[in-house]
Structure 1
Amino acid sequence: MQLGVDHFLNQEARQYKNKRIGLLTNMTGVNHKLQPTIDLFYEHPDIQLTVLFGPEHGIRGDAKEGEKITSSQDPYTGLPVYSLYGETRKPTKEMLDNVDVVVIDLQDIGTRFYTFIYTVANVMEACKEFDKEVVVLDRPNPINGVQREGNLVKEEFRSFIGQYPLPVRHGLTIGEIALLYKHEFGLDCKLTVVPMSGWSREMYFDDTGLIWVPASPNSTGQVMSILYPGTCLIEGTTLSEGRGTTRPFEIIGAPFIEGYKLAKFFNERKLEGVIARPTSFIPTYQKYKDKLCSGIQIHVTDKKKVHSFKTGLYLLETVAKMYPEQFEFRDAQKKRSFINLLAGTDKLKDKIMRQEVDYFLEETQEELEGFTKRVSPYLLYKNE
């Protein structure tokens, strides 16, 4: 298998010999030997690397979720590093003054909540405005490019965790998303996507032979990325989503939960591809820091059968039924509460509380079918 960065360095780099290159990347930007794209570009005789850009979590991935990052200087190359998750989330004219082409090499994790894909959008918007070129070096969707789940974001709930009308599990690579932005969402910059070879849509990350590099401190691996389209919704509630443990988005609980009961009732729902076991944990930060929580760890027994979004919704529905007095949504009275921004709608929380999750899932099917038709012209890979 060859990544976009491999093809670029082997075949495309000479075309950009006289261009000043800005690179949007982080620690996930590596080749199959785990050599950083930053280093490979900086040391390449045909690449004139002038600036670096970093998304959420920083260019080296050491910042926590939501933590603002200041611009800095890269210690290895000495190049300026412009943060796109600090004072601005879109490159300014000054940031692009010494750039002809912005090359993007980021590993997305396949879920619309993840902010990297919106940093890509903001870069494309700026490059359209200031007449710069964008080159996206493609990478796998780690939870496959076939399955799509969830509703599309409604206009009034657009945010940096849902900036465009994508489903929760979008089934696209980062290069395909860039093509969608250009042709469907008005970000009509000069765009080149450098594709992979040897990747097919049904592949999960652990089918690729590549080594997983965490895209953020809590993106711990394949199981987390499979569950994340559903369990990320827990961030909008008073439950702990497992931040501050070694298994975030796999471990879920709270001080008021009885783990054995929750595991029993959740498993009785007989969801395909997952099973829960009772557990207890003490988060080291975030919700319930230093407090004993009880809950469950969700284990993936068959990755190909897991319906990620459905798993998260059934879990929330189960907890809401078991603990109607203790379970709450954060800032539920606000129109743009966190759960509404995550869900992309204000309907979901009511469906959870009314035990009507199945109706909500049925309502998403038409949206998903429409989205699948809309994106079909931009798919770069067929099932091989």
Structure 2
Amino acid sequence: MSTEFLDALKDLVKEKGITVEVLLEAIEAALLSAYKRNFGSLQNAKVYIDRETGECKVFAQRTVVEHVEDPRLEIAVEEAKTIDPRYEIEDMVETEVTPKNFGRIAAQTAKQVVVQRIREAERNIIYEEFANRDGDIINGIVQRIEQKNVFIELGKTEAILTPTEQMPGESYNQGTRIKAYIVEVRKTTKGPQIFVSRTHPGLLKRLFELEVPELQEGVVELKSVAREAGHRSKIAVYSRDENVDPVGACVGPKGMRVQTIVNELNGEKIDIIKWDNDPSKFIASSLSPAKVVAVEVWEDEKIARVIVPDYQLSLAIGKEGQNARLAAKLTGWKIDIKSESQMAELYPEYEDLFAEEFME
């Protein structure tokens, strides 16, 4: 190795974020293994690379002892003192034992170590880039599909969309641009593995944040999300500014903002609900598009009874209970939905009271 090699290393590591010293120490360790493998595996040795010239030398290390039992590991105190009178028992004596053809081995080994360490550095850089992006959104291109796993190209790395995180009925074609939500970043020997989702409620939240400036600015807050991916979702939004309509901000002019998200999610229906600190009002809104007559709440148990007109019962419950299920997820309350007729049957003695109270 030479000064040109050291200069090349310095230029290289600037780009990769590795220090020259760390790289040289790794080369020295690899050269020591190569030396022991080829020349003397039973002796203590040390490899040193001159930081100025790049010259590589091997030194045998022997302990100063009174009586030598193994000359490969020990040196008599009398002999050590002929080298340097200051040597004492248990000191370490280093003697250069660099083989004649060690330069060729050194060059090959150094090249291998540098390539390996650069790969590791690149992997670490990519990992660090994505390690703190859990819960973020990525925009990539479908690269390939293997065993139902979709691999999404992200420049220097790729993300994995597993079958369980894919939206029902959604097809993925090579070369198609796609957005997904980062659920986990793992560090492996082959580099970072980035797992993404198209079904996670967080994807819906991030998509709205991308499309709605009021959310980015903090004027409008997205309070909660309930999602059944590929079918229907509900979001609850709140405005810190009484002059800003949170629902209108998310819908956008002529519905353009929400329509962009619906298109990205292949037609998934999205209900945008105004969040309210009053549980009764929030629960009533969460069952949209159904109209609610009244809401009774038991705050300690977080249970609510909702009364709807007879003709609104099926709409409030939704197909296979979907609307009621999403409303419960959105609010965090257990919701029992009854029609006015059902209430009258359950409480006949209060039929007039219910009629008077709930029909106002």
Smaller-chain TM-score range?
under 0.3
Give the TM-score taking structure 2 as reference length: 0.24
Q: Relative contact order: is structure 1 or structure 2 higher (C-alpha 8 Å, sep ≥ 6)?
A: 1
Instruction: Report which of the two has the higher share of helix.
Output: 2
Give the TM-score taking structure 1 as reference length: 0.23
Which entry has the higher C-alpha Rg, 1 or 2?
2
Instruction: Report which of the two has the higher share of strand.
Output: 2
